[in-house]
């Protein structure tokens, strides 16, 4: 999941209470193979002392009276039993010191029980649930170890969240299959009443490593080849434009699609809700089960480790120059094509993890998805201009729908 970007915090942490362990084997998962970074890949449950150190030190990063947002991520965090999350609440209470604590949890949705749903509701957990649309699209890549599709279980999980009144939103991956049916994909979310959707393009490159990992790190160019499930720039552009055409005439203010919100934020010159579209990043670290801290959830590679919270205080690790440099590099290492791009203000070269292509003038380190983004920004520009004008006059951006319908 791309980081939700919180402008109020100096840094936040995506914690992995079960490491990279997961009950599913989704083909495009970038995190499963992180288990190879550890000597005992099947024993990556976060121990109590790491959990307590993390909760204590993370809360202490926040000024008294502020809000502290915990994000529980995976792998699959619900491989941890309910007692783990009860302990989380106990420790948060112990160290809160007057701060308000909120919890978000990202799950594949297959392990939700009535007991858990009740717990999430009682304690106001915000759930991010991974689902790739209707069954035939979802089950193509999101399968169990034995190859069985997971859609039925996920739908049961959604049913439980709804029954217990748990707040949830959808994380949907745009891959080669889902990109081929943009409207079928989008309509599914509308049909199930999901109003907050994050569509994330999946792009991975394959490069075997001696330790068993098979994905290339963002700084490994070499012989890496594009994974077959990746979305192409053309398909990504087509996907965004097709979705936008429907959204802008009928769904503005009703369905919240993160990339459209982020684009409008760029048009308004305010911080977008997602790090990939921000000017710089480096505010969203990832914490492995044993206390290892990495610069970003998408950069859990040995060369991007900041240290271990059991050896050095979290505050010290997150103040390191290497993290600042990592965040600043998002802007500093833009290609000339990006720096001269008319849409730089909204795109900012997107996420550095996708910058492995050549720019139009042959410069390495250009964003692979660029052509898709350019097409989308050009397509959406008149509507973004309109919504910006509305917002600047204190009027509703949803007025764009009538204007768009008339425009045809
Ligand atoms: S590299 Fe930066 S932009 Fe990309 S996911 Fe990580 S924090 Fe976000
Ligand atoms: S649209 Fe392409 S050239 Fe423009 S900022 Fe984004 S990645 Fe760079």
- 101 Cβ contact partners less than 8 Å away, ≥ 6 residues apart: 59, 67, 68, 70, 92, 93
Q: pTM higher than 0.75 for the full model?
A: yes
**Lookup result for tokens 């989704």:** 26
The CA 346 to ligand 2 mean position distance, Å, reads 9
3-state SS, 114-125, equals HHHHHHHHHCCC
Mean pLDDT across the chain, nearest whole number?
94
Pairing status of strand 364-366 against strand 256-257: unpaired
φ/ψ of 104, rounded to 5, equals -120, 145
Which three-class secondary structure state does DSSP give residue 201?
strand
Q: Which ligand is nearest to the CA of 277?
A: 1
Which three-class secondary structure state does DSSP give residue 127?
strand
Q: What is the mean pLDDT of residues 72-80?
A: 95
φ/ψ of 305, rounded to 5, equals -85, 135
Read off the pLDDT of residues 271-329 as tens digits, 9 standing for 90 and up: 999 999 999 999 999 999 999 999 999 999 999 999 999 999 999 999 999 999 999 99
The CA 331 to ligand 2 mean position distance, Å, reads 12
Q: Quick count: other Cβ atoms within 10 Å of Cβ 389?
A: 13
d(CA 397, CA 374): 23
What are the structure tokens assigned to 302, written together?
């040995």
User: Which of ligand 1's atoms lies nearest the C-alpha of 274?
Assistant: 8
User: Which of ligand 2's atoms lies nearest the C-alpha of 342?
Assistant: 4
Q: What is the mean pLDDT of residues 34-63?
A: 92
| Residue 109 buriedness (CB in 10 A; 0-12 / 13-18 / 19+) | buried
Q: Which ligand is nearest to the CA of 294?
A: 1
Q: Is 343 in the pocket of ligand 2 (CB under 6 A)?
A: yes
Q: Provide the b/e sequence for 370-387 (b: ≥16 CB within 10 Å).
A: bbbbbbbbebbeebbebb
User: Is it the case that residue 173 has pLDDT exceeding 80?
Assistant: yes
pLDDT at residue 219, rounded to an integer: 80
pLDDT at residue 212, rounded to an integer: 84
| Residues identified as active-site | 297
The answer to whether 107 touches 130, Cβ cutoff 8 Å, is: yes
d(CA 31, CA 232): 21
The CA 197 to ligand 2 mean position distance, Å, reads 23
């Amino acid at each position: 999941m791309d980081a939700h970007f919180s402008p109020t915090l100096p840094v936040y942490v995506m914690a992995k209470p079960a490491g990279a362990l997961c009950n599913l084997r989704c083909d495009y998962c970038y995190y499963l193979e992180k288990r190879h970074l550890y000597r005992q890949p099947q024993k990556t449950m976060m121990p109590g002392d790491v959990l307590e150190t993390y909760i204590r030190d993370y809360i202490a990063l926040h000024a008294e009276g502020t809000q502290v947002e915990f994000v529980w991520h995976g792998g699959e965090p619900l491989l941890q039993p309910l007692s783990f999350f009860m302990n989380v609440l106990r420790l948060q209470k112990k160290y809160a010191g007057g701060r308000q604590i909120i919890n978000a949890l990202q799950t594949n949705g297959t392990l939700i029980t009535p007991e858990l749903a009740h717990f999430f509701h009682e304690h106001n957990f915000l759930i991010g649930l991974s689902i790739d649309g209707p069954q035939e699209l979802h089950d193509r890549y999101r399968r169990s170890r034995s190859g069985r599709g997971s859609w039925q279980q996920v739908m049961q999980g959604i049913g439980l969240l709804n029954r217990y009144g748990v707040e949830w939103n959808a994380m949907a991956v745009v891959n080669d299959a889902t990109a081929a049916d943009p409207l079928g994909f989008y309509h599914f979310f509308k049909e199930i009443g999901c109003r907050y959707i994050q569509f994330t393009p999946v792009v991975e490159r394959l490069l075997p490593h001696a330790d068993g990992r098979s994905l290339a790190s963002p700084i490994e160019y070499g012989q890496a080849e594009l994974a077959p499930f990746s979305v192409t720039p053309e398909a990504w552009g087509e996907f965004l434009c097709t979705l936008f055409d429907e959204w802008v005439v009928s769904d503005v203010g009703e369905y919240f699609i993160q990339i459209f919100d982020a684009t409008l934020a760029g048009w308004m010159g305010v911080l977008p809700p997602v790090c990939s579209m921000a000017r710089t990043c480096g505010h969203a670290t990832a914490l492995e089960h044993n206390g290892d801290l990495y610069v970003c959830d998408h950069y859990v590679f040995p060369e991007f480790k900041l240290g271990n919270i059991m050896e050095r205080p979290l505050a010290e690790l997150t103040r390191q120059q290497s993290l600042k440099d990592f965040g600043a590099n998002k802007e500093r290492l833009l290609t000339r094509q990006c720096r001269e791009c008319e849409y730089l203000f909204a795109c900012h070269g997107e996420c550095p993890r996708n910058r492995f292509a050549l720019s139009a003038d042959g410069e390495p380190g250009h964003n692979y998805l660029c052509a898709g983004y350019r097409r989308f920004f050009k397509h959406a520009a008149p509507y973004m201009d309109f919504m910006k004008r509305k917002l600047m006059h204190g009027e509703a951006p949803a007025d764009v729908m009538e204007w768009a319908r008339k425009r045809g």
